[in-house]
Amino acid sequence: MSGATVLLRAAFDPIGKGHLQFARAASLRLGADVVFSPIYEGKEPMNVRAEMLGLMIKKENTYGFSLDYFEAKSRGTSGVLDTLRHIALIRRGQKIYLPLSGEDFAALGKETLRQITALATILYVPGKNDQVDDALLAESKAVRFPYGRIGSAYEDDLRNLRLMELPSYIRETIENKGLYFISVLGKHMSTKRLLHSISVANLAYYIALGSKVEMAEKAYVAGLIHDIAKHLAPDQAKLQLEKHMPEALAFPAWTYHQFLAPFIAEEVFGINDADITTAIVYHATGKAHMTPLAKIIYSADKIEPTRGFDSSSLISACLKDYYVGFLEVLAANREYLLSNGYQIDNPLTKNCFEIYLGGSHA
């Protein structure tokens, strides 16, 4: 046990890479143990969050991390001051640090902050939209500690796919238990379609991770939401396209869902990232001059393992080199479409085949 303790108090709903980045930096830079203390209130029940926190402790056991459920066990009757006094009691003689986000400063108020400073040194962890008054920071004797991310706004972004800063073991737990964004997606697609989307997301993530695209987390998000509009009936899709993208009505009905995906994703999750939008809006047809991320989503969608055919060689090609793999997937998909009598004469698909494969081969 070190001579200092950082009390990282949050909902951990879910715990993200930002929390861990902060905790690692605090442990190394302050020479402190880090105690993760979940509050009782959260979107998911405490037992679900506790399971994820326990998994985190097992995976991150090279650091001096530990869990304390004093506040969670109080079921909301204890607050930050009670928890600080509890930590000070069980870690008697240690220097206590309490990290706070900008929203924490706004929520706690001056009187509570004054009482906190008598018990601990405040570490101010700034966020992207924080506007904490410098005078308040000085009055609170807060130390700026710009490493990692904390705060309820950060966790809200994690829950709603606006950030995908999740450790792989937490992401897998969310998928397996149908939590947060997986639960929301399940309201917009069948179980089979959801499993397909999760499979696309994971394959796209690992293709991007092994490439020089450096957008693995965006690839995961794009993979998850690429089919979010596919549940719409043709007449509903037409109405939506008339509102959002009327020029797409000239294309076959099987393409409608790709054009609508960015609009539905923004309505449901608040996602309006240009990289993700560009990657999903032509995932079914392809197009000329696709971005690297769009090529990855196109490939992952066509060859993910739940498709029901042996795609192992194509998956291996994509994992080795996303661009070479994309060309192989594109050629295989063209052959499949032609041999099964599908119409591929729409301008997007035709141009995609011509620019990347050198002709339509119709």
In a domain, 166, yes or no: no
Tell me: do 230 and 353 sit in the same domain: yes
Q: Which of 296, 134, 94, 135 is nearest to 209 (CA)?
A: 296
- Same-domain pairing of 118 and 225: no
Same-domain check for residues 277 and 340: yes
Tens of pLDDT, residues 232-291: 998 999 999 999 999 999 998 999 999 999 999 999 999 999 999 999 999 999 999 999
Burial of 8 (0-12, 13-18, 19+ CB in 10 A): buried
Residue in 270, 54, 89, 2 with CA at minimum distance from that of residue 162: 270
Q: Which two tokens stand for residue 63?
A: 């650091």
137/122 Cα distance (integer angstroms): 9
Q: What value does the CA radius of gyration of the chain take, rounded to a whole number of Å?
A: 24
Q: Show which of 157, 180, 199 is a domain's final residue.
A: 157
Clarify whether residues 229 and 93 are in a common domain: no
Read off the pLDDT of residues 311-351 as tens digits, 9 standing for 90 and up.
999 999 999 999 999 999 999 999 998 888 877 889 999 99
Q: Residue 317: give the domain boundaries.
A: 188-357
| pLDDT for the residue 128 | 80
Q: Encode pLDDT of 107-144 as tens digits.
A: 998 999 999 999 999 999 998 878 888 899 999 999 99
CATH number at residue 30: 3.40.50.620
What's the structural domain count of the chain?
A: 2
User: Is residue 135 a part of any domain in this protein?
Assistant: yes
Structure tokens at 148: 């990692």
Assess if residue 271 is contained within a domain.
Answer: yes
| Pair 303, 242 in one domain | yes
Q: Could you tell me if 146 and 203 lie in one domain?
A: no
CATH at 236:
1.10.3210.10
Are 32 and 99 in contact by the 8 Å Cβ rule? The answer is no
| Whether residue 339 sits in one domain with residue 279 | yes
Same domain, 60 and 201: no
Nearest to 33 by CA among 104, 90, 100: 90
Contact 83, 70 (CB under 8 A): yes
Same domain, 30 and 150: yes
Query: Is residue 62 pLDDT above 80, yes or no?
Result: no
Looking at the fold, whether 202 and 332 belong to one and the same domain comes out as yes
Say if CB 332 and CB 356 are below 8 A apart.
no
For residue 293, pLDDT over 50 is answered with yes
Instruction: Examine residue 173 and state whether it is found in any structural domain, yes or no.
Output: no
Residue 100 pairs in a beta bridge with 124
Instruction: Give me the phi and psi of 16, to 5 degrees please.
Output: -120, 175
- Pairwise CA distance, residues 315 & 318, whole Å: 5
Domain boundary (107, 136, 157) is at 157
| Residue 129, pLDDT score | 78
Token code pair at residue 277: 């939008």
pLDDT one-digit tens code per residue, 172-214: 999 999 999 999 999 999 999 999 999 999 999 999 999 877 8
Same structural domain for residues 135 and 200? Answer: no
Q: Point out the domain boundary residue: 108, 141, 157.
A: 157
The answer to the question of residue 169 being in a domain is: no
From the centroid of its chain, how far is CA 73? 29
CB-CB contact of 356 with 327 (8 Å): yes
Is residue 180 assigned to a domain?
no
pTM: 0.92
| Gap between the Cα atoms of 287 and 259, Å rounded | 13
With beta carbons less than 8 A apart as the criterion, state whether 204 and 297 touch: yes
Nearest one of 37, 24, 270, 47 to 156, comparing CA atoms: 270
Residue 362 inside a domain? The answer is no
Residue 162 lies in a domain: no
- Verify that 28 and 140 share a domain, yes or no: yes
d(CA 289, CA 274): 16
